[in-house]
Structure 1
Amino acid sequence: MKLQTTDLARILGVDVPPVEGPLVAVTNASQDVVPGGVFVAVKGFTSDGAKYAPAAIEAGAQLIVAEEPVGDLPTAVVPNARIALAQLAVAFAGDPSRDLTVYGVTGTNGKTTSSYVLHAILATAYGAEHTGLLTTAEIVVGTQREPAIRTTGEAPTVQGNLARMRDAGVTHVVLETSSHGLHLHRVLGTHYAAALFTNLTRDHLDLHGSMEDYYLAKRTLFERTTGPKLANGDDEWGRRLADEIDGTLTFGAREGSAYRIEHVRREGTGTVFDLTRPTGETLTLRMPLLGDYNVHNVAGAAAITLEMGMPPATLIDAVAEMPQVPGRFERIPAAVDRGFEVVVDYAHTDIGLRAVLEVAREVVTDGGRLICVYGAAGARDAAKRPLMGRVASELADVNIITTDDAYHEDPAAIADEVMAGADPADTTIVLDRRDAIATALGLARPGDVVVVAGKGHERVQHLPTGDVDFHDATVVTELLTG
């Protein structure tokens, strides 16, 4: 959508210097500037976007938006560059969420699985060609799928993808909404029709500083949502959310939950549970997933669709037919012929690791062992590293600490910090991730379960020496079949 400087002045509420011709796009990445574009100089964690403004002008940008004047370049000065970026992204994309039904999903653990479950239900109800998904793992526009870069992209990416969906005939979209996306205004201006909160556990404190601020960032999704709002009533932060935000309903096994989970039982390779609605009607849901945490993921997604008016029969069929979620307790078929199981999971906190290992323990058969390959990311909350080591030693029989995304940190130093909480009697360190996985597979025998945790769906490993292609499920398959 083309805009004039008068449009930008109205949107931003500041004076905008005149430029030649209409403005056609906005970005905060100088390498993405197009002729006639607007470059927003965002102050990042490590550098100020203003230093890239001259390159943006050279690439064809007609206007700079920044929090202070940038030399003699044509600059609109705004109080907050990130807010301005979001406002302009919405405008250039034609406010796409206005024409879509957007479901926001937030929380620490389970938001990707919940997003996939919700998308599967919507695809069954409205047709795959009319549903969209924006998650940590991938972007789905109707029947087209592509890898995602981060949980919630920058505002131009979010609005651009929503516009793509609108133009492709999509009507219902699930938007996994991270605390980064909320705190950094990446989703500002998005019209949310419904919101779902999974839980809150220690994570991302490098950004938020405290659990209170982390919670408040999550809460903003519910403050912006106009329709149904569902929160996990078995989580203390979810109960607080329900108390603080009018109209928020709870789901969970806890007595008094508006949507009550009862009679959970394992059935073959899946799980069955009853979900009682506020009306008193009870639905029996059969899902092809294991674990109490997945019961909550499905229950939350089911509750929000029911609140949005979905027929119960449609919901029941959709839950039964939903596909496996990439990188979330993803079972690798190539291991079946060996008589053991290999599971790839995104668990990258002590809470997430505990959840996946507890479910994996249930899958262990014939006196088998639970073998875990895991690590901790660099440039993140370091306090969780020994906690992860403690959880792994508590729940798994054999543990191998390896490298996750080290970023600029020394992988050996990170591994030592994880090892500080582990039991040396059951734990070794193999820094090369491929070698660590190969070691675990070499140890596995019939009845064992190998869990490869930390990266899940991700296809790139961030190392001090640079990024490398790495996808756990692919590496496991190669090692088993090569």
Structure 2
Amino acid sequence: MSLDQETVARVLGVDVPPLPGPVVAVTHDSRAVVPGGAFVAINGFTSRGADFVPQALERGAILIVAEEAIDGAPTAVVPSDRVALAALATELAGHPSYDLTVYGVTGTNGKTTSSYVLHAILSAAYGEAATGLMTTAEIIVGSDHQVAVRTTGEAPVVQANLARMRDGGVQHVVLETSSHGIHLHRVDGTRYAAALFTNLTRDHLDLHGTMEEYYRTKRKLFEWTQGPKLSNADDEWGARLAGEIEGTLTFGVSTGADYRIERERRDGTGTVFDLVTPGHGTVSLRIPLLGDYNVHNVAGAAGIALEMGMSPDVLTRAVRDMAQVPGRFERVPAAVERGFEVVVDYAHTDIGLRAVLEVAREVAGDGRLLCVYGAAGARDRDKRPKMGAVASELADVAIITTDDAYHEDPQEIADEVMAGADPSNTRIVLDRRAAIDAALHDAQRGDVVVVAGKGHERVQHLADGDVPFHDVTVVTELLTGR
């Protein structure tokens, strides 16, 4: 699809300089500009978009979109560069969400697992070919799986993937919608048919500043959604959301929850619980996941599915047969034959780490719990000692290592984590591979090793540049190499 001058002016709402031809694409990355494309000069956190205009023009851009006029460039000056990027991307893609049923999932913890659960439920009901998924871990279009770059991609990526799904026959799409995605206008132009809120805990305050602003950003998803909306009644922010947004139903163990969790109990390698529903009575569910937080993740996704018209029988079968979620309490098979468990999880906050370690402690039983973890650089520093305290409290052996350090010194980050830890059961091993190897070497029959922080991610961001690193792969290599 392409846009003529009149359409571009209408979409942007500003005057547009004369164009030599139609706009055929839009991007904010000067390296991705194609002849006949528009380049939106976004001012990022560490760079100015205007600095990349010469490269964009060299590659064939016929229009520059920016918040200020740029000398020597055919510029459309707009109030917001990111709003303009989303508007052009949506128009070029043909507003694909209007031809799809899009389910938005947001929250601090659990949104990826909830997204996978909801996708599994929809796939069971409508078939794999008719379902799509965009999450932190990957993008799924029917049977095609691709590794995702970030939780919610930039607007051209979101709209292009929605268009690819629409054109490929997909009807139902689960879109993990992060606060970054909302705040930075990455999902502008997307019509949501249903929305799910998991919880809100301290995270991303480097972007939002306060928990109140973080919450208000998340709440926008519910303000946009006209269809079913479910929020976690057991989370104080979730309960508040339900009270503020008309038509929002709730889920949880709270007495007044519309979808109430009852009789939760562990059953072998999974969990069984009853979901008391407002329209289908009590539905008994068995899931191949452990932990209260995963029961909540499934309950929320199940509530959305039922509200959208799914039958309880299809729901029951779908959650029983769903697969592991990448990097979310993901068990590494290579450890089992050695008599212990290794679990890889994305937990990267003190709240997330506590939730995972509490479940791992239960799995360990009389065995020991070992934890390899770290804190990311260029992020909220206040959570670092809190993570150290949680790991020392719940693990028998804790090893602090390097997560994504970005531009920070890994040793300084580790020292800040160690400030909250107990030195009697904690040590620092900065090299992540060496830290994992040390934990595996220490592990004995019946123990559980948790490798936390990066989960599904396949790259480690360091000051000297990005390096390939995937925790599950590294654990498998270390175990099979012995």
Q: Is TM-score (shorter-chain normalized) higher than 0.5?
A: yes
Aligned residue type for 1:377: A
Is 1:8 paired with 2:23?
no
Corresponding position of 1:428:
427
- Residue in 2 aligned with 1:348? 348
Give the C-alpha shift of residue 465 in structure 1.
Answer: 1.1
CA contact (8 A) 2:280 2:312 kept: no
Distance 2:446 2:353 in 1: 21
CA distance in structure 2 between the partners assigned to 1:140 and 1:213 by the alignment: 31
Is 1:79 aligned with 2:79?
yes
Deviation at 1:101, TM superposition (A): 0.3
CA distance in 2, matches of 1:136, 1:87: 23
Q: Secondary structure at the match of 2:115?
A: helix
Deviations 1:338-386, CA, capped at 9 Å, x for gaps: 1000000000000000000000011114x31000000000000000000
- SS at the partner of 1:338? coil
User: What is the 5 A alignment of 1:220-235?
Assistant: 220-235=220-235
Deviation at 1:280, TM superposition (A): 6.3
DSSP 3-state at the match of 2:386? helix
Is the partner of 2:327 in helix, strand or coil? Answer: coil
Aligned twin of 1:90: 90
Task: State how far apart, in whole Å, the 2-side matches of 1:123 and 1:279 are.
Answer: 22
Query: What CA distance in whole angstroms lies between the structure 1 residues aligned with 2:104 and 2:18?
Result: 38
AA matched with 2:42:
V
Provide the C-alpha distance between the structure 1 equivalents of 2:352 and 2:454, rounded to a whole number of angstroms: 12
Q: Is the 8 A contact 2:339 2:446 kept in 1?
A: yes
Deviation per CA, 1:70-93, whole angstroms, max 9, x where unpaired?
112111110001000000010011
Structure 2 residue 468 is matched with structure 1 residue 437: no
Which residue in 2 is equivalent to 1:473?
Answer: 472
1:241-267 Cα shifts (integer Å, max 9, x gaps):
101111100000001001101000001
Aligned counterpart, 1:253? 253
C-alpha separation between the residues in 2 aligned to 1:449 and 1:280?
39
Secondary structure, in 3 states, of the residue corresponding to 2:79? coil
1:154 aligns with 2:154: yes
**What are the superposed Cα offsets for residues 306-354 of structure 1, whole Å, 9 maximum, x if unpaired?**
0000011100100101100000000000001110000000000000000
SS at match of 1:140: strand
Residue 38 of structure 1 aligns with which residue?
Answer: 38
Instruction: Name the residue aligned to 1:405.
Output: 404
Distance in 2 separating the partners of 1:71 and 1:305: 53
How many residues get paired?
481
Return the letter of the residue paired with 2:446: G
- Structural mapping, 1:201-350, within 5 Å: 201-279=201-279, 281-350=281-350
Three-state SS of the structure 1 residue aligned to 2:56 is helix
Give the corresponding residue for 2:124: 124
Q: 2:135 & 2:12 partners in 1: Cα distance?
A: 29
**Structure 1 unmatched ranges of 5 or more:** none
1:279 Cα deviation after fit: 3.1
Report what 1:390 is aligned to.
389
Alpha-carbon distance between aligned partners in 2 of 1:424 and 1:295, rounded to the nearest angstrom: 34
Offset at 1:21? 1.3
Structure 2 length as normaliser, TM-score? 0.99
Q: C-alpha offsets along residues 109-153 of structure 1, whole Å, 9 cap, x if unaligned?
A: 000000000000000000001100000000001100010000001
Correspondence for 1:182: 182
Cα deviation, 1:435-480, whole Å, max 9, x if unaligned, reads 0000000000001000000000000000111100000000000000
In structure 1, distance between residues paired with 2:319 and 2:262: 17
The gaps in structure 2 that reach 5 residues or longer are none
**1:465 and 1:68 mapped to 2: Cα distance?**
33
Q: CA RMSD in A?
A: 0.6
Three-state SS of the structure 1 residue aligned to 2:337 is: helix
Aligned equivalents of 1:51 and 1:401: distance in 2? 39
Give the alignment's TM-score, normalised by structure 1: 0.99
Report the equivalent of 1:136. 136
Match of 1:359 in 2: 359
Paired amino acid for 2:410: P
Corresponding residue SS for 1:301: helix
| CA-CA distance at 1:59 after TM superposition | 0.4
Structure 1 CA distance for aligned equivalents of residues 47 and 336 of structure 2: 49
- The aligned amino acid for 1:176 is E
Q: Which residue identity lines up with residue 396 of structure 2 in the other structure? A: D
Percent identity reads 74
Contact 2:367 2:447 in 1 (8 A): yes
Determine the structure 2 residue equivalent to 1:379: 378
